[in-house]
Chains A and B, each alone.
Chain A
Amino acid sequence: NAGVTQTPKFQVLKTGQSMTLQCAQDMNHNSMYWYRQDPGMGLRLIYYSASEGTTDKGEVPNGYNVSRLNKREFSLRLESAAPSQTSVYFCASNTGQNTEAFFGQGTRLTVV
């Protein structure tokens, strides 16, 4: 039972570098989400995708881009990393209705 799989689990970047965080789910879910978690700020929505082929901005989209490659995969790209993007990133998915969202284990990203 893989559920939601995120890679990598840890990453250190230098300011200005780019990288893509990968997320895949094997539950045939329509909706997928990217959040960042910072101390005292809870989970803030970066982008979400209500269905294959659609993406929408969340609360904090600046500095990020996303791609819903197919129904299974939803990637998050940092084009030019900044120290303010140091955070733990979580991917999640659900059926699209008011059902349980399943989360990945998170990616701890440090930008130096």
Chain B
Amino acid sequence: GDSVTQMEGPVTLSEEAFLTINCTYTATGYPSLFWYVQYPGEGLQLLLKATKADDKGSNKGFEATYRKETTSFHLEKGSVQVSDSAVYFCALKYNTDKLIFGTGTRLQVFP
């Protein structure tokens, strides 16, 4: 079945470091891909999305490119801030079908 695999955390970085969180997926078709972020004590919020191959989603300095050839959607940010500390979830969805999440990656940024 369809699934999403994320790198295990926590990822620990100093402020202004470069961030990569890996995400790969298994899918029978061509889903849309998403990154969601969860701050402590809250529900998930959409960070960015891409709906077809080679699309790049971006928001708040974060970017991810939909790579069909490697079935990947890695999240990157050039310079992280303490306020980026959160749990990040990669997800996939087909049109009206279910929304499937990865296990989440905790990011901790220290000053």
One of A48, A56, A96 near B95 (C-beta < 8 A): A96
Interface-side segment among A12-20, A65-73, A79-87, A101-109:
A101-109
The tally of residues in A whose CB lies under 8 Å from a CB in B reads 28
B103 engages A98 (CB within 8 Å): no
What residue of chain B has the Cβ atom nearest to residue A47's Cβ?
A: B98
Q: Tally B residues with Cβ within 8 Å of A.
A: 25
B73 at the interface (CB under 8 A from A): no
Contact pattern, B 57-94, Cβ under 8 Å of A = 1, otherwise 0:
00000000000000000000000000000000100011
B residues adjacent to A (C-beta < 8 A): 6, 31-32, 34, 36, 42-46, 49, 51, 89, 93-104
Interface residue ranges, A against B (CB under 8 Å):
4, 30-31, 33, 35, 40-45, 48, 50-51, 56, 58, 90, 92, 94, 96-98, 100-101, 103-106
